[in-house]
Amino acid sequence: MKILSVNAGSSSLKFTLFEMPDEKVIVSGTFEKIGLESSIYTIKYNGEKIKKECVLNTHKDAVNVLMSELISMNIIKSYDEIEGIGHRIVQGADRFDKSVLVTDEVCKDIEELIPLAPLHNKAHLIGIESFKEVLNDVKQVVVFDTAFHQTMKESEYLYPLPMEWANKYGVRKYGFHGTSHRFISEFMNGYLKKDAKIISCHIGNGASICAIEDGKCKDTSMGFTPLAGLMMGTRCGDIDVSVVPYLCEKLNISAEQLVNKFNKESGLLAITGVSSDLRDVEDEYLKGNQRCVLGLDMYSKKIVNYISMYNTLLGGAEYIVFTAGVGENSPIVRGLVCDKLKAIGVEIDKDLNEEMFGKFGEISTSNSKIKVFVVPTDEEVMIARDTFDLVKE
């Protein structure tokens, strides 16, 4: 059965076509700059990468181009060979604790949650609608970034604010990257053949940490929005909110504009003054650039803070897992973090750490009290799995 895994953004659409249940990737790609003057799309197929420019006014145009490319590349003979489409949805709030088939009711819920994730949920709905228009009756499924975190207890997800703000306005911690953390949980528990106490560190451009026990989330670092928690590429993570009115006055900007700066002009980019891309920061760090030294010190300390907290919450973690762009590929960040975790008995093997790039493996020594692993995450396959499970019934 062919299942398409989709991530629709405000001007982009990423896709991966799977053969299920084999989980074989047939083709993948990205449409970018949808609605702008000229759009670009790339398709990866059979080890080759095709890049084309065209005009795509809407997401529906992108879906039409995608389908005709699949036909002309002989990947499918007719549209109905695609039997299910799974969409990544950023915000499901407390309404969804698992993936579900798309219905009018479900779309209404996602729409009602737009105020909690204005850019994301709106774009996801456009994605769902576009596939509905082009593929008529195809079954669609929604997979929420927040769903895995719905097992958090009140004591974890509530902010110490007036209760009615949580009840009336939904102001509480939701957590994000749930599909990735769930992948790590299922992968590790499958590998270990037991339900382990895991601290999953998804460190990419966006970054979050999740404490997992019995395959369930106990707590996670992101909050009401993906701005909270760790220091990230361009996001500040946790800060004292009193700086908001103070800076709005000093900079003469609105709270919304300031939060935009917290999201896009802060984090590693702000501290290093070099880049939000860790590869650039590492190049300068290795040359001794002091702002990059400071940046990576802060960046790794925030990760250490959350790992330490979750180690306590779990009553002693058994595994720390690094994943996503930085977690999978940066021995420097992993090294800086693990060096600071010596006090809780973490010890990594320097050579194993240096060798581990984008592949699965252990990097801790046999003496390490908490075992440290690198696991490449795969959110697309999780979306395809959930979609297949719901569509095949």
Structure tokens at 69: 């490319």
Among 82, 326, 337, 381, binds ligand ADP (CB under 6 A): 326
Q: Which is nearer to ligand ADP, 9 or 86 (CB)?
A: 9
Stretch that binds ligand ADP, among 72-80, 97-105, 244-252, 324-332 (CB under 6 A): 324-332
Q: Which is nearer to ligand ADP, 13 or 196 (CB)?
A: 13
Structure tokens at 321: 């897992």
Structure tokens at 203: 């460190």
Q: Which is nearer to ligand ADP, 198 or 333 (CB)?
A: 333
Smallest separation (angstroms) from ligand ADP to the CB of 260: 18
CA distance 376 to 357: 9
CA distance 203 to 299: 10
Smallest separation (angstroms) from ligand ADP to the CB of 375: 13
Would the CA dihedral through 243, 245, 251, 257 be positive or negative?
positive
Q: Which is nearer to ligand ADP, 140 or 329 (CB)?
A: 329
Can residue 324 be called a binding residue for ligand ADP (CB under 6 A)? Answer: yes
Of 200, 93, 98, 189, nearest in space to 142 by CA: 98
Q: Return the active site residues.
A: 145
Smallest separation (angstroms) from ligand ADP to the CB of 163: 33
Q: Which is nearer to ligand ADP, 266 or 329 (CB)?
A: 329
Can residue 277 be called a binding residue for ligand ADP (CB under 6 A)? Answer: yes
Among 52, 250, 279, 301, binds ligand ADP (CB under 6 A): 279
Q: Which is nearer to ligand ADP, 271 or 370 (CB)?
A: 271
Q: Name the residue with the smallest CB distance to ligand ADP.
A: 325
Residues 6 or more apart in contact with residue 352 via CB below 8 angstroms: 361, 362, 363, 364
Total residues contacting ligand ADP by CB under 6 A comes to: 13
Instruction: State the binding string over 280-299 for ligand ADP (x if CB under 6 A, else -).
Output: --x-----------------
Q: Which is nearer to ligand ADP, 5 or 329 (CB)?
A: 329
Q: Are 117 and 173 in contact (CB under 8 A)?
A: no
Structure tokens at 158: 């509530």
Instruction: State the binding string over 227-266 for ligand ADP (x if CB under 6 A, else -).
Output: ------x---------------------------------
Would the CA dihedral through 320, 323, 329, 334 be positive or negative?
negative
Q: Which is nearer to ligand ADP, 140 or 330 (CB)?
A: 330
Other C-beta atoms lying within 10 Å of the C-beta of residue 168: 9
Q: DSSP per residue over 276-324, as a string? A: SSHHHHHHHHHTT-HHHHHHHHHHHHHHHHHHHHHHHHTTS-SEEEEEH
Of 268, 239, 273, 244, nearest in space to 258 by CA: 244
CA distance 96 to 143: 9
Stretch that binds ligand ADP, among 16-24, 77-85, 126-134, 322-330 (CB under 6 A): 322-330
Stretch that binds ligand ADP, among 32-40, 83-91, 220-228, 277-285 (CB under 6 A): 277-285
Helical residues (DSSP H) of the chain, grouped into ranges: 59-72, 104-112, 118-135, 154-157, 163-169, 178-192, 243-251, 255-264, 267-272, 278-286, 290-313, 324-329, 331-339, 350-355, 379-391
CA distance 330 to 339: 14
Can residue 86 be called a binding residue for ligand ADP (CB under 6 A)? Answer: no
Smallest separation (angstroms) from ligand ADP to the CB of 240: 25
Q: Segment 171-230, which members bind ligand ADP (CB under 6 A)? A: 204-206
Can residue 10 be called a binding residue for ligand ADP (CB under 6 A)? Answer: no
Smallest separation (angstroms) from ligand ADP to the CB of 322: 11
Among 84, 127, 223, 325, binds ligand ADP (CB under 6 A): 325
CA distance 135 to 241: 46
- Residues of this chain that interact with ligand ADP (CB under 6 A) are 204-206, 233, 277-279, 282, 324-326, 329-330
